[in-house]
Amino acid sequence: MSVITLGGLAGGGARILGPKLSQQLGADYIDRNIISTIAEELGESIESIIAKEEDAPSRSHKLAIAIKKIIERSGASWGGDPYFGSGFSHFFSDSYEDLPNISETNQHDSINDSYIEVIKNTMTNLAKEGNVIFLGRGGHVILKDFTNVLRVGVVAHPEDRIKNVMTVDGLDYKNAEIAVKNRDLARKNYFKKYFSIDEPDRPDLYHLTINTSEVSIDYASDVIVSALHALEDGKIVGPLQI
């Protein structure tokens, strides 16, 4: 089954589109908020995660089980690392600007490499299973060679981006404006360090880019679903070459 990655600058509208697409397609939706919930469960055994509910495990529990198995296969240990604090939950669930500033030292390169490797392993393994929507974290680059993955960029005009962040994060105008600037810079640094990409939103990195300032969220969602069907029908072919 097919997969969608949503990327783009802060406030572009991807965080609004993601849940809508998830509901429309009946797909799992993975953003930093869901990952934060999952991360809290990763310290427990798979059995204890399942035992939390008498009925079938919830979506977050199922994802926690899947991700925990991936981490265990990778041989990674996510104990309380003094630099990253809560470890995995920090790196996978925080906003880009909240991640530790690691660009100025090589001291933690091996740890950083392990974290990004787990992110890659998690995304690729879940993408192989399909029926999932990823928000951010470089999904459109990590999954560039997957023929079942539709890579979508979501953008908006600067003023609309600020308003979207105000709405989603509950910030006033000034703080939302600052947040947009900080997230843009942090995101650019993230892609530079881990993927050697200077411009993470180059048009050629996506199958299509949607401007939510120019079209409604409903229309944007319909366009993405249509493009996904085109991908499934073989009308969109060829892995991305960087």
Q: What is the pLDDT of residues 184-224, one digit of tens each?
A: 998 888 899 889 999 999 988 999 999 999 999 999 999 99
Mean per-residue pLDDT, 141-164: 95
Conformational region of residue 134, where left means phi above 0, alpha means psi within -120 to 50, and beta covers everything else: beta
More confident residue, 73 or 76: 73
- Say what the pLDDT of residue 31 is: 76
Number of H helices, E strands in the chain: 10, 5
* Domain definitions of the chain by residue range: 3-232
Model confidence at 88, pLDDT cuts 50, 70, 90, reads: very low
Q: What is the pLDDT of residue 74?
A: 53
Q: Give 230's DSSP letter.
A: H
Query: CA 44, CA 88: separation in Å to the nearest integer?
Result: 13
* Cα torsion through 181, 14, 169, 9, rounded to 10: 0
The dihedral over CA atoms of 50, 120, 123, 39, expressed in degrees to the nearest 10, equals: 30
Instruction: Answer whether 10's CB lies under 8 Å from 179's CB.
Output: yes
Half-sphere exposure of 205 (CA within 13 A, CB side): 20
Q: Which residues contact 162 (CB under 8 A, 6 or more apart)?
A: 11, 173, 176, 177, 180
What torsion do the CA atoms of 69, 18, 60, 230 make, to the nearest 10 degrees?
Answer: -50
Of 15 and 48, the structure prediction assigns the larger pLDDT to 15
| CA atoms of 236 and 193, how far apart (whole Å) | 30
Question: Following CA atoms 139, 169, 28, 41 in sequence, which dihedral angle do they give, to the nearest 10 degrees?
Answer: 90
**Per-residue model confidence as pLDDT tens digits over 218-231:** 999 999 999 999 99
Tens of pLDDT, residue by residue over 18-41, are 999 999 999 988 876 555 555 555
- Poorest-confidence range of 49-58, 78-87, 200-209, 227-236? 78-87
- CA-based angle 208:210:212, to the nearest 5? 170
- pTM greater than 0.85: no
Residue 125: which residues within 8 A CB-CB, separation 6 or more?
66, 70
Residue reference for tokens 């990327």: 7
| Residues 103-124, mean pLDDT to the nearest whole number | 64
pLDDT of residue 102: 44
Identify the pLDDT of residue 64.
Answer: 62
Task: Answer yes or no: CATH 2.30.30.240 is held by domain 3-232.
Answer: no
DSSP string, 21-58: HHHHHT-EEE-HHHHHHHHHHTTS-HHHHHHT-SSSPP
User: What values do phi and psi take at 194, rounded to 5?
Assistant: -95, -20
Confidence of residue 180 (pLDDT cuts 50, 70, 90): very high
Rounded to the nearest 10 degrees, how much is the dihedral formed by the CA atoms of 97, 103, 104, 106? 140
| Alpha carbon distance 191, 205 (integer Å) | 12
